[in-house]
Structure 1
Amino acid sequence: MITRSARGFAHGQAIAERAAALGSELVELPGDRIVLPKDDDPRAAYRLAKSTLAIVVASPSKRRLQPIPPSADWRFDLAEGCHAHCQYCYLAGSLVGPPLTRVYANLDEILDVLPRHLGHGAVTSASPERAHEGTTFEASCYADPLGIEHLTGGLAEAVRFFGRWEAPVQLRFTSKFAGVEPLIGLPHGRRVRVRMSVNAPSLIRHEGGTSPLAARLDALARLARDGYRVGLTVAPIQPVEDWREGYATLFEQAARLLDDVPGLDLTVELITHRFTPGSKGVLQGWYPGSDLDLDEETRSRKLTKFGSVKYVYPADTMREMRAALTELVSKHLPTARMLYWT
């Protein structure tokens, strides 16, 4: 779908043309309101939303950058929503309405905001340990931009933007997709860090519609050989059966593929599984047959800084997992920098 306002932007029109050329049904909306066809079957409504891309215009409030600790100084969005089917999707309960993907047509307006934030921020800009990264901008908080890059081309434009930006800055994004071809050979200026979202092999089965683990790691190695800074976002970490062996296998595979990369700059981010009452309800509605552990009785109840409830692993379990994964990273990826555990 493309809204009336989005048709006024060249980037929006280009996305629509790519989608149509690839065989998608293109619906030109008479206005800017997105309305999906009604369906009394919630499963059918979910499938329709997940297979719908809406080309829209990011409002001024959407273009206002927000802090995004512990990942980066600032968050900006090229899109919102994801077409994958991850049974532990952290966007569930966070985004309002049907789970369609919205991509923004006014890309130039979005990128034009970024230079105002140069030198400001509370994560890398203010951290002695990470100050060398410069001012960091996260582009994958509410979407997986690489998963739709073959349609949008927006990520490549962002990479070129940062490549031209002669300043201590870094574009960051993470993905579960291996389609990195549009990014290979771009003039990124080493100002881009691409991370692959990975997990123990036994947990990847919860990530429907995404690239296999081996393909993700191979894509990361291709990017590293093309001079990109790279990283592993290990998430969501869960103490499933034989979890130590599973995560050891993950890091062994990564080490094998990255072993001969010259000038490798590799980071690791470790993120444990958590959920809210709202996200639990949404996920169980989306994936009623899932065996994902969402048992509140086995978790610790925490309050966020906004006063909402979330469920995390108990402190003893967190300490055990942190010690084990830290040791595994040090053993298999000794040159990697671990950015944070959460």
Structure 2
Amino acid sequence: MFITRSAREFAQGRRMVERAAAMGVEIVELPGDRLKLDLPDDQRRAYAEAKGTLAIVVAPPSRLRLQPIAPSADWRIDLAQGCPAHCSYCYLAGSLKGPPITRAYANLEEILGVAPDYAGVGTVTSRSVARAQEGTTYEASCYTDPLVLEPVTGSLSAAIAWFGQWQADVQLRFTTKFADVTPLLGIDHGGRTRMRASVNPAAYARFEGGTAPVADRLAALRAMAEAGYPVGLTIAPIIAAEGWQEAYGRLIEDAAVALAGLAQLDLTVELITHRFTDGSKATLDSWYPGSALDMGEEGRAIKRTKFGTQKHVYDANLMRDLRIFFEERIAQTLPAARVLYWT
């Protein structure tokens, strides 16, 4: 683990170092703020070493200017950037520059401190009749999975407690492919944090290397609901591989069993189909050569993003079939759930 000079000036940065040291992690204190890593020339080895590297840094000023993150939330609030998991469809592949090092932000108080400036002025939930009960929403897992970093950072717990004390119509949101929620269960969250388990059928586990088993994620979701948190399922990415109806039908049934018998369950579902850009495909092909994940263009349509780039999504007929299946099956099997969006 590395820590930059500026990060050591923040109490949160020093706390991260203390946590890591207590775990026996080797810590390298950098003389400046640049991350100069001596990575191997071999691209695969360099990728593996970068994925296993955590750096404590100061979030740049751009991270203190919150950005909208439709359709998930009004605003993106970043506690870190990067993830140590090995998902062969990784959404970050086309957006992160350089080696995929995970960066945890030491200036947490500054990041949280700007949130009130954005309350009530978002366009996703703040002005949505269907989702108005969520208030102004802040997504903490756009560029990271904050739960997997929690043993070292403690940032997610701090953010949950901070939102819990904020007497306003607001909600922190995070989604995760991990399951160790024990540190979060006793926090006074005030019902202002929604934890969502990001899930896919167990048959697709080969596409999600280094993550927790799906059954463990669902058990963690139940534990969070029992602790009074609003919860959700992020079914993502929906992969239309052979036998997808049976695989996803079983997944939805497993979720229903895991959440059965909970009083006052506040459950949402977010449905995100698999997509990729040419850039992310090239990066993922270099990271995971030989992956069985289908990223061919057959059965795909091209959709232009808000940034002017192109992404490959399932064609209209398949998208229609997928949407009908999921909305009907969720209504039948998880009738208490609210589907927030389909994309």
Cα deviations by residue, 1:83-127 (Å, 9 ceiling, x for unpaired): 000000010010111001000001000000001111110000010
C-alpha distance in structure 1 between counterparts of 2:301 and 2:106, whole Å: 42
C-alpha distance in structure 2 between counterparts of 1:38 and 1:65, whole Å: 32
Identify the residue that residue 6 of structure 1 maps to in structure 2: 7
Identify the residue that residue 165 of structure 2 maps to in structure 1: 164
Equivalent residues in 2 for 1:292-303, closer than 5 Å: 292-303=293-304
Count of residue pairs the alignment pairs up: 342
Cα deviations by residue, 1:271-318 (Å, 9 ceiling, x for unpaired): 000000000000000000211101023311122122211100000000
Equivalent residues in 2 for 1:170-319, closer than 5 Å: 170-319=171-320
SS of alignment partner, residue 74 of structure 2: strand
Identify the residue that residue 335 of structure 1 maps to in structure 2: 336
TM-score, normalised to structure 2's length? 0.98
Identify the residue that residue 61 of structure 1 maps to in structure 2: 62
Q: How much identity, in percent, do the aligned residues show?
A: 61
C-alpha distance in structure 1 between counterparts of 2:154 and 2:245, whole Å: 39
Identify the residue that residue 133 of structure 2 maps to in structure 1: 132
Gaps spanning 5+ residues in structure 1: where?
none
Identify the residue that residue 81 of structure 2 maps to in structure 1: 80
How much has 1:204 moved relative to structure 2? 2.4
How much has 1:201 moved relative to structure 2? 2.0
Identify the residue that residue 91 of structure 1 maps to in structure 2: 92
Superposed structure 1 runs of 4+ greater than 6 Å apart = none
SS of alignment partner, residue 202 of structure 1: helix
User: Given that residues 39 and 49 in structure 2 are in contact (C-alpha distance below 8 angstroms), is that contact kept between their aligned partners in structure 1?
Assistant: no
Higher mean C-alpha deviation, range 144-153 or range 56-65? 56-65
TM-score, normalised to structure 1's length? 0.99
Identify the residue that residue 101 of structure 2 maps to in structure 1: 100
Identify the residue that residue 43 of structure 1 maps to in structure 2: 44
**Equivalent residue letter for 2:321:** E
C-alpha distance in structure 2 between counterparts of 1:271 and 1:302, whole Å: 15
SS of alignment partner, residue 210 of structure 1: coil
Identify the residue that residue 323 of structure 2 maps to in structure 1: 322
Gaps spanning 5+ residues in structure 2: where?
none
Cα deviations by residue, 1:172-216 (Å, 9 ceiling, x for unpaired): 000000010110111000111000100122222210000000000
User: Given that residues 8 and 14 in structure 2 are in contact (C-alpha distance below 8 angstroms), is that contact kept between their aligned partners in structure 1?
Assistant: yes
C-alpha distance in structure 1 between counterparts of 2:110 and 2:279, whole Å: 33
